[in-house]
Amino acid sequence: MYKHLVITDFDGTLTEKVVNGQKVPGLMSVLMSEPGIDKNCLVEYEELFNKYHPYEQSTNLTLVQKQGFMLKWWLEVYSVLKKYKVTETMIMKSCDSPLLQLRSGVKEFFDQCKNSDISVIIFSANGIGYNTIEYILKKNDISLTNVRICANTLYFEANGQYTSTKQPIIHSANKIGETLIKNDFIAPDQDDTECILIGDNIDDLKMSEGINFKSVTNVGFGDTLSSDFTEMFDLVLPIEAGFEKISELVSVRV
Ligand SMILES: [Mg+2]
């Protein structure tokens, strides 16, 4: 009998990618659209997106080069949050946006993992990760006893203003298994453990990279007709699907 572990992405994986026909942006973009946020904050955030997103997509950079650009990107975004005096209240308020909906069956899936003693690691490179992910899960009555969150934690002054981010900063280029090892979420040798990895992006497959699991079953929410997805993931679920099929998969394993 092997142990089981779930490693899952957050944005677009635990949450819906499309709500009422509208594509849902990442949490940081939802925050930037909050009415309380200075318009120039959004302008500067978008300028940084346009500057750094091409590096994120580039296939010509080495991993080290990409990590350098992605770190710089988040550091500059954090300076913008500070410059425009973004507060914890604004950030938490953005979590109540109607665009942020958990997929159907997510709560039941977490209950199932808890009842079956399966640990869950939520791995997110989202800029306002830890605080908001914890808030959204608790709001949906999800118990976090068997759940750990590897994501950016923000710190605030007594007056609520953002001050700094816990190191190391998680960005899209270090959202890899090695980061989970370095930050003591997991040891590299897991040959008695079967991992179920869940994501909505090809790069999410790297969340188990560098960890020696007995096996990894990759589940992706994406285009079921795209060979990119069908060749890389063991199970591809439609973009609008819920977690029911993943719960079935776990039931037969444990
Ligand atoms: Mg995602």
How many angstroms does the Cα of residue 204 sit away from the middle of ligand 1?
A: 7
Q: Which of 22-26, 151-155, 233-237 has the lowest mean pLDDT?
A: 22-26
Asked whether 102 and 16 are in contact (CB, 8 A), the reply is yes
**Starting from the edge strand earliest in sequence, which strands make up the sheet with 189-199, in order?**
147-150, 119-123, 3-8, 189-199, 212-221, 235-237
Give the per-residue pLDDT at 93.
92
Give the β-pairing of 189-199 and 22-23.
unpaired
How many angstroms does the Cα of residue 211 sit away from the middle of ligand 1?
A: 20
How many angstroms does the Cα of residue 158 sit away from the middle of ligand 1?
A: 32
How many angstroms does the Cα of residue 59 sit away from the middle of ligand 1?
A: 19
Fill in the DSSP letter of residue 15: B
How many angstroms does the Cα of residue 235 sit away from the middle of ligand 1?
A: 16
Residue 210 is part of a domain; what is its CATH number? 3.40.50.1000
How many angstroms does the Cα of residue 159 sit away from the middle of ligand 1?
A: 32
Domain extent, residue 67, equals 3-253
How many angstroms does the Cα of residue 187 sit away from the middle of ligand 1?
A: 24
**Tens digit of each residue's pLDDT (9 = 90 or more) over 204-237:** 999 999 999 999 999 999 999 999 899 999 999 9
To the question of pTM greater than 0.85 for the whole model, the response is: yes
For residue 110, with 0-12 CB atoms within 10 Å meaning exposed, 13-18 middle and 19 or more buried, which class applies? buried
Please report the beta strands in the chain, taking only residues with DSSP state E, as ranges in sequence order: 3-8, 18-19, 22-23, 119-123, 147-150, 154-156, 162-165, 189-199, 212-221, 235-237
How many angstroms does the Cα of residue 57 sit away from the middle of ligand 1?
A: 15
Asked whether 109 and 237 are in contact (CB, 8 A), the reply is no
Q: How many domains does the chain have?
A: 1
**Tens digit of each residue's pLDDT (9 = 90 or more) over 81-132:** 999 999 999 999 999 999 999 999 999 999 999 999 999 999 999 989 899 9
